């Protein structure tokens, strides 16, 4: 059936979060028949993307064949009566043949029960002569014969019934086991979805959710309302599906209102968004997420003082880099009089927070540089600028945030006014390096590549030139080129950022590589966060659950929503 398939093509199989293969087509078919992989596992060849086996056109025939086999085995359970009858007919025929056999013989002594033929043995030949038992003959009216026939017939019937029951039980048991295995896989996958959502690995939760059948998905939706935007982006759930939900808890009903708020904000319908936010507040008046969305709504509407005050309030309740960044963005929308009133306290909050925490640190340092310039704090300006250049690009992408936040919030492009203030006094190597950081923070790799090509020759310091190459290669995920730069001996090895990037890329290429020199350097510079990040990344790469569990008990106490921590927890929980 499958001779026309390209036997040379190699396939990979994704089953239970493991990548298997490569296999050829016939090997995949054999694994499916042996139930070692299922129709809801995924396959891909070198030229295609991941698809469920049941959705892959090249496996359509074998999927249909396996389904028909299961269906036909289910039909076998209906054949019991016809099988039983087919065994009874030969027995009736046997009885008739025996009766006819005796009826055709003309015997005058029908009342005789048996006949004995006796042989007299001469005395002279008695020694050594073998005497056989006499033969016994019966007639159709003989009760003994009838009894034996009935017993024989009953045994055949019972044997037939037992055989049929055994066949039916075997088929039914096989079908049951198949269905139970499929059900067990779905139950395990549903639990995995909830686990990923609980751990903050939202995209992994969505990826697992897409593999579930529709009926199971519908049951899970109330527990996944917090990640509705991701499910919506994946085409799995729409707002129409939310409207049909019933028997929701107070928190779930509040999340429904936040979903409607989120959609209204996407459409820039701020009036409608306000209505949904009021309903959500009524259900959960103490929710920091609702208050944060309220501050973001005021910011979008240009009511910067209201926005600033709400962000300041929730930052006082819980230290979080997003709240402080919200204060910064709102601050630059205030009047000069209002800014002079809040600038000192805001600068103090920035200085304290960036010295301890790392979520949104690059954005907060940018604001700190700007405020240091405005307040003529030259020492803080120099320290802040050095820290800015020594902080990884797109560090904030490693920190998760709630999916039901107002869309397009806390973006780097929102800081254009602040960037202009910071860049204005820069000159020489610093301004070229700052512009590269700016492009990389926005994810504009093409623009960053062009900027580097056009300006690197103008950079006087060869160590800065080499670091610019390092930053670009790292953003392009070119790990081998990154590691090769260390061998050129042109990098500034007194830079914490350089050590961090080099070590992360070395681990990416080989999880067993020793990065001890980098760890020692970072420890000597009191860069505890960077050092712990490296250790954790290497443990994740090694999938060393026991070491991860021990490590997490003692580290990352100053981080909030750090993605690698969530990934590590998913390996040990």
- List Cβ neighbours of 285 (8 Å cut-off, separation of 6 or more): none
Given this model, what pLDDT does residue 98 score?
A: 36
Q: Dihedral of the CA atoms 33, 38, 41, 45 (nearest 10)? A: 10
Element (H, E) at 525: none
Tell me which DSSP letter residue 408 carries.
S
Neighbours of 230 (CB within 10 A): 19
Query: In sequence order, what are the residues at sequence separation of 6 or more whose Cβ sits closer than 8 angstroms to the Cβ of residue 551?
Result: 535, 536, 539, 568
Give the pLDDT confidence score for residue 174 in this predicted structure.
Answer: 63
Side-by-side strand order, sheet with 18-23: 18-23, 11-15, 42-44, 51-52
For the chain, the structural domain boundaries read 11-77, 494-573
Residue 15, strand partner residues: 18
Q: Are 383 and 351 spatial neighbours (Cβ–Cβ below 8 Å)?
A: no
Determine the 3-state secondary structure of 270 from DSSP.
Answer: helix
For all residues of the chain together, what is the average pLDDT? 85
The pLDDT value given to residue 145 = 55
Helix axes 321-331, 361-374, angle to 10 degrees: 40
Contact 199, 570 (CB under 8 A): yes
| Cα–Cα distances in angstroms (integers) from residue 308 to residues 281, 303, 331, 338, in the given order | 19, 9, 6, 11
Is 43 in a helix, a strand, or coil? strand
Report the alpha-carbon distance of residue 209 to residue 186 in Å, rounded. Answer: 10
Q: How far apart are CA 429 and CA 352, in angstroms?
A: 29
> How deeply is 277 buried, as exposed, middle or buried, from its count of CB atoms within 10 A (0-12, 13-18, 19+)?
buried
pLDDT at res. 405: 96
Exposed/middle/buried for residue 376 (C-beta within 10 Å: 0-12, 13-18, 19+): exposed
In 243-381, DSSP assigns E strands to none
Cα–Cα dist 209/192, whole Å: 9
Q: Which residues of the chain have pLDDT under 70?
A: 1-8, 73-149, 152, 169-176, 178-179
For 258-288, write each residue's pLDDT tens digit.
Answer: 999 999 999 999 999 999 999 999 999 999 9
Among candidate residues 20, 25, 28, the one with its CA nearest the CA of residue 6 = 25
Residue 144 vs residues 46, 94, 150, 151: alpha-carbon distances, Å: 78, 17, 10, 11
């Amino acid at each position: 059936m499958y001779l026309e398939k390209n036997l040379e093509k190699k396939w990979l199989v994704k089953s239970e979060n493991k990548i298997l293969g490569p296999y050829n087509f016939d090997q995949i078919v054999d694994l499916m028949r042996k139930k070692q992989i299922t129709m809801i596992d995924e396959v891909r060849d070198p030229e295609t993307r991941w698809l469920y086996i049941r959705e892959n056109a090249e496996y359509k025939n074998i999927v249909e064949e396996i389904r028909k086999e299961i269906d036909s085995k289910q039909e076998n359970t209906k054949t019991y009566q016809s099988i039983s009858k087919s065994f009874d007919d030969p027995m009736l025929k046997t009885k008739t043949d025996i009766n006819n056999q005796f009826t055709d013989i003309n015997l005058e002594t029908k009342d005789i029960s048996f006949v004995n033929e006796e042989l007299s043995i001469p005395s002279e030949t008695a020694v050594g002569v073998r005497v056989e038992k006499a033969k016994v003959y019966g007639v159709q009216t003989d009760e003994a014969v009838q009894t034996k026939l009935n017993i024989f017939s009953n045994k055949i019937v019972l044997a037939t019934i037992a055989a049929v029951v055994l066949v039916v039980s075997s088929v039914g048991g096989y079908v049951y086991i198949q269905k139970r295995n499929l059900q067990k896989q779905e139950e395990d996958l549903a639990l995995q979805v909830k686990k990923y959502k609980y751990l903050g690995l939202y995209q992994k939760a969505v990826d697992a959710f897409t593999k579930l059948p529709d009926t199971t998905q519908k049951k899970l939706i109330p527990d996944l309302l917090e990640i509705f935007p991701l499910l919506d982006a994946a085409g799995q759930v729409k707002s129409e599906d939310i409207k049909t939900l019933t028997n929701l808890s107070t928190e779930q009903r509040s999340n429904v209102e936040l979903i409607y708020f989120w959609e209204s904000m996407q459409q820039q319908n701020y009036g409608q968004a306000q209505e949904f936010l009021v309903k959500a507040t009524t259900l959960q008046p103490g929710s920091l997420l609702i208050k944060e969305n309220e501050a973001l709504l005021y910011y979008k509407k240009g009511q910067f003082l209201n926005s600033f005050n709400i962000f300041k309030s929730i930052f006082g309740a819980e230290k979080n880099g997003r709240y402080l960044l919200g204060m910064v963005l709102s601050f630059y929308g205030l009047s000069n009089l209002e800014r002079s009133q809040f600038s000192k306290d805001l600068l103090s909050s920035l200085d304290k927070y960036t010295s301890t925490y790392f979520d949104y640190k690059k954005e907060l340092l940018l604001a700190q540089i700007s405020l240091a310039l405005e307040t003529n704090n030259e020492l803080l300006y120099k320290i802040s600028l050095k820290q800015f250049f020594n902080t990884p690009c797109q560090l904030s992408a490693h920190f998760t945030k709630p999916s039901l936040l107002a869309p397009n919030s806390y973006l780097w492009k929102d800081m254009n006014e602040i960037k202009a203030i910071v860049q204005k006094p820069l000159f020489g190597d610093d301004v070229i390096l700052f512009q590269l950081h700016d492009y990389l923070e926005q994810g504009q790799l093409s623009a960053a590549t062009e900027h580097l090509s056009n300006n690197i020759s103008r950079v006087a310091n060869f160590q800065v030139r080499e670091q610019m190459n390092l930053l670009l290669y790292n953003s392009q995920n070119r790990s081998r080129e990154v590691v090769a730069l260390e061998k050129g001996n042109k990098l500034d090895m007194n830079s914490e950022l350089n050590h961090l990037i080099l070590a992360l890329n070395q681990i990416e290429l080989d999880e067993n590589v020793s990065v001890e020199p980098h760890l020692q350097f970072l420890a000597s510079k009191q860069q505890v966060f960077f050092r712990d990040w490296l250790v954790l990344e290497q443990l994740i790469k090694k999938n060393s659950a026991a070491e991860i569990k021990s490590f997490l008990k003692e580290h990352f106490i100053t981080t909030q929503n750090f993605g690698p921590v969530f990934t590590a927890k998913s390996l040990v929980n």
